Amino acid sequence: MKFFRIFRQKKIRPAWEFKAKGFLWRIVFSGDGRIVGEDRDQIAKSVSFFCLDEITGRVLWSGLEFSEKWWIGIEAIDGGIVFFHEYVKPDLPQHFKILAVGLETGKLLWRNDELQPFHIAKGKILAVKDLFEKRIYYQLNTATGEVEKEFSEQDENIGLISKGRESGDGATIFPEILSGDVEGYDRLADVIRPYCDRRRVEGNVEFILHGDLLIFNYHETAKSRIGDEQLLNNHLKVVGLSRKHLVYSDLITENAHAPVPDSFFLRGGQLFFVKERNRLVAVRLDALASAL
């Protein structure tokens, strides 16, 4: 009877997938249901940007490109606007210029080619200009890019505007390393053991415990090699903690050169991971829980 129950058990499939043309270099969550990402072609040295609905994976827009083809990236998302930056020079990491694009439309709203973005959050933009002997700060209007206020480097208002500069809305849960210091380590290790040969694991096993779902990944030595280099396969598995049965399994990356930390995360009732560097995959947690 147990065999037939397993045979009849519904296979869990991803809720949605988005495949990039190149590599998914970076994804940023807006905090209000949107995902903006960088799609980079490393051979052509070009990048385009896209926007997805976080729950359904629906593409709002994609293929957004600028005059700068490579040295450009996402600065922040705030108030329904995506802000992009270029660089002072390709070999310098300092951000320069501000380009504002409508989050829902993908249309350019305004750009400023003279200032460096310093802090963007809660409807305020603080930008700077470095002169020969001083630095000047400007508060810009988010909708138009017009200068609303100007501050000197010593002005106390700068600290008030940029207070709480750390990014993130606290809604994303990243995995932790499974070690002897983790509470309940022996039980977790016992559940993982049948699905993970620790003798072949390179690096750490990382996990998230979500209710009765134990979600974990590990890098296992692959059969493939490049010269003397041993390649790795990055496996993701979800196991029911109580019954110790496999609920979901996927190969995140095949023939990786090194272990990659934080290969998956939870957000908004979904399990997210990037597969083979070019596919963003979302799996519903309630679908996983239904298989317990």
Mean confidence (pLDDT) of the chain: 89
pLDDT of 11: 83
Tokens of 207: 């996990």
**Two tokens, residue 111:** 């750009």
Q: What is the pLDDT of residue 157?
A: 55
Least confident of 4-18, 75-89, 273-287: 4-18
108 vs 154: which has the higher pLDDT: 108
pLDDT > 50? residue 1: no
What's the pLDDT band for 65 if we cut at 50, 70, 90? very high
Residue 38 in this model has a pLDDT that exceeds 80: yes
In terms of Cβ atoms closer than 10 Å to its own Cβ (0-12, 13-18, 19+), residue 195 is middle
Lowest mean pLDDT among 22-26, 83-87, 169-173, 196-200: 169-173
Mean local confidence (pLDDT), 8-24: 87
- For residues 104-116, average pLDDT: 97
Question: Residue type for 247, please?
Answer: V
Angle, CA of 84, 85 and 86, to the nearest 5°: 140
b/e burial code for range 239-277 (CB count within 10 A of at least 16 → b) = bbbeeeeebbebebbeebeebbeebbebbeebbbbbbbe
Give the pLDDT score at 169: 62
pLDDT at 133: 78
Residue 209 clears pLDDT 80, i.e. is over it: yes
pTM: 0.89
Q: Is the pLDDT of residue 41 over 90?
A: yes
pLDDT tens for 153-206 read 655 555 544 444 444 567 899 999 999 999 999 999 999 999 998 888 999 999
> What is the per-residue pLDDT across 47-64, written as a single tens digit (0 to 9) for each?
999 999 999 999 999 999
Predicted confidence at residue 17, as pLDDT, reads 97
